[in-house]
Structure 1
Amino acid sequence: MTASADVQEAVDKLAVSLGHPVLVEDARHRPLWWSAQGEVDGTRLRTIMQREVSSAAAAVVVRLGLPRAQGPVRVPAVPEAEMLPRWCVPLRAGRDLLGYLWVLNGDELVTEADLPRIVACADLAAMSLAWSRSQDDHDRRRAALLARLEAGPDDDAARELIALEQLDPSATVVVQASSAPGGWKLRGGMSAHVNPPAAAGATSGRPVPVGDLHLAVTRATATLQVLRAGAALSRPSWDALGAWHLIVAAPPDLSVADIHPGADVLARQPKPDLMITARAMLDHGGDITRTAAALHIHRTTLYYRLDRIEVLTGVSLRSGPGRGDLHVALRLAAYRAAAR
């Protein structure tokens, strides 16, 4: 791989050694690397300052056959296109045109004797562009395979991804909810990480085979939804959901009211205070002191709300039957409300 900084250094050195400005652009005439310019013509100025070329200058490039040239070409002055004399070296990877290296030569003091240095710089730029193109193709192919694996089981996509990334067939993967360094970007800002350390603590929980990436994504998504529902987990991971696993696994046709109708009654109240209080009271095991502290309310206010909740739902949150069912129903309601 040839780094961009290496090409820039080579361009600067070439310009100094020639005493003439150098520009490297891609095949669409967008500037990539350039030296200090000094006196320039209209075409060079427009290329660097406006990142475009005039139609007249583009026509000159085609008329002189530069896209097909296999080596350096001396380009004469073309006043109607605002072009001073210059040297052009097309940048290629095999038969593919990657761009051009230009040496502005208004005084025509750059001669064929200088071409070896110019060609050496052009070759370095071509290597960098070829690697970049190859990496872009690689990244696009990987992204397409990841999209297929996110959508569901796909043995062919798994085999292709393992081959593309030169992984061991037994490689495993986890998903982090927030895109983390070193991972592959996934939808929703998540990232996939291959063969994670044992103590990685991923959002999706324990590693799964690469072919089960969809499962890791589903688990990470559910974990995030549980957290949005207000769950107090020991860590933000599928492995820490505990009883929330039952909420996540609840079938769609199971309604909140099927578990306890009181949850629906609380949800229909004009203000959410009673539902929030009921959740907090049940989450804290019926402890008045801890619940009041968590809600930042006076105990008298809490007692008033608890009485109202008992009237509406028929459940005493301090003791008595129905508390467990109402708790599960409230969690299920919160989980479904947190869906995106």
Structure 2
Amino acid sequence: MTTSDGVQEAVDRLGATLGRAVLVEDPRHRPLWWSRQGTVDATRMRTILEREVHPAAIAMVARLGLARATGPVRVPAVPEAEMLARWCLPLRGGRDLLGYLWVLDPDHTVTEVDLLVECADVAAAHLARQRSAGDGRTHRRAALLALLAAGEDPDAARELIRLEALDPASTVVVTAPPHGRGWELPGRMRVHLAGSGTVRATSGPPLPLAQLHVAVRRASAVQRVLRAGGTLAHPSWDALGGWHLIVAAPDSLAVADVHPGAPALAALDRGDLLLTARALLDAGGDVTRTAERLHIHRTTLYYRIERIEAVTGVNLRTGADRDDLHLALRLEAYRNAG
């Protein structure tokens, strides 16, 4: 099996045999291996020392279709990029472009194309194995994250820590919808290592990796609260406030157990009455604020309040059981948002 050192040996051997400078780049023209043999031009020096490529050289690659080439291509000089003539061999793994092998040949004397192909094959084989190993690692990481997102799994946590060379004390947060780089999770979420960047966590404070399922559950609850019409200072677990009581309510607790007025309103199939009741109670019974928020005339609001109070038996502005109805309406909305 060829190692990275093995590719370097092949590049050095080719450079020494031809007396020409050899370079292997990735598909984005970032240098991977290069020889110490032969004359180099400004383009080669810029690529290796400054990690950048002249725009004219990039334009030449596109113009000649080098990314689509399947064999050696003799590339003419590009004076505006201070680029001498050379050979280019695209490195491929099947149909995928893995990089390029470049051999300077300003006087067009390099004819041993077979030697170039042999070196290119060594580099391509190594890069293909690297990509395959990376894909396998990506798939395994995704599988482990899915296990950890579904429930407590200490073995999966330990394996992921080994796979990614993480600190065993690593903590994580979850964003939903997915934000930033992180790792993808099922359900349009993303997990981030705490401290790996600036990200507002939907799941709240960081948790140990083994408790990823808790972070996922918290992020899901926040999203559900927002779908239920909850107004939060920011979309995060630590901004839920009184909604924590709704999220923690057991399934055995019926909405009618909190207050029968909520299911009575829902049974009318009058979304405007449910919305109005929620808005007025959120506003602490303030009619002016509620009318402005709903963009309705106060006369319309008073009519709706009268209907709501008749159905629920609650005085929405001064009634002692307003809080119970408020919680029941939130619970109704939260469960319907599932």
What is the TM-score when the length of structure 2 is the normalising length?
A: 0.71
Question: What residue in structure 2 maps to residue 4 of structure 1?
Answer: 27
CA contact (8 A) 1:174 1:196 kept: no
Q: Which secondary structure state, in structure 2, belongs to the residue aligned with residue 4 of structure 1? A: coil
Instruction: Map 1:251-270 onto structure 2 (within 5 A).
Output: 251-270=250-269
Distance 1:19 1:167 in 2: 44
Q: Which amino acid in 2 is paired with 1:164?
A: L
Instruction: Map 1:1-340 onto structure 2 (within 5 A).
Output: 3-6=26-29, 14-16=72-74, 25-27=92-94, 30=95, 32=97, 113-196=112-195, 200-339=199-338
Distance 2:309 2:203 in 1: 38
Single out whichever of 114-123 and 308-317 deviates more from structure 2.
Answer: 114-123
Identity percentage of aligned residues: 51
- For residue 130 of structure 1, report the CA deviation from its aligned partner: 1.6
Distance 1:300 1:246 in 2: 34
> Would the alpha carbon gap of residues 128 and 328 (structure 1) be closer, same or farther in structure 2, given more than 3 Å must change?
same
Describe the superposition over 1:64-110 as per-residue Cα deviations: whole angstroms up to 9, x where unpaired. xxxxxxxxxxxxxxxxxxxxxxxxxxxxxxxxxxxxx9xxxxxxxx9
Runs of 5+ unmatched residues, structure 1 = 36-100, 102-109
- For residue 193 of structure 1, report the CA deviation from its aligned partner: 0.1
- For residue 189 of structure 1, report the CA deviation from its aligned partner: 1.1
Q: Which secondary structure state, in structure 2, belongs to the residue aligned with residue 245 of structure 1? A: helix
Question: What residue in structure 1 maps to residue 78 of structure 2?
Answer: none
Question: What residue in structure 2 maps to residue 89 of structure 1?
Answer: none
> Would the alpha carbon gap of residues 176 and 198 (structure 1) be closer, same or farther in structure 2, given more than 3 Å must change?
same
Distance 1:156 1:280 in 2: 47
Runs of 5+ unmatched residues, structure 2 = 5-24, 31-65, 76-84, 102-109
**Number of residue-to-residue matches in the alignment:** 263
Single out whichever of 129-138 and 18-27 deviates more from structure 2.
Answer: 18-27
Describe the superposition over 1:199-221 as per-residue Cα deviations: whole angstroms up to 9, x where unpaired. 64300000000010000000000
Q: Which amino acid in 2 is paired with 1:202?
A: A
Distance 2:69 2:268 in 1: 71
Q: Which amino acid in 2 is paired with 1:272?
A: G
Q: Which amino acid in 2 is paired with 1:270?
A: D
Distance 1:22 1:325 in 2: 74
Q: Which secondary structure state, in structure 2, belongs to the residue aligned with residue 206 of structure 1? A: coil
RMSD: 2.9
Q: Which secondary structure state, in structure 2, belongs to the residue aligned with residue 175 of structure 1? A: strand
- For residue 31 of structure 1, report the CA deviation from its aligned partner: 5.8
Question: What residue in structure 1 maps to residue 9 of structure 2?
Answer: none
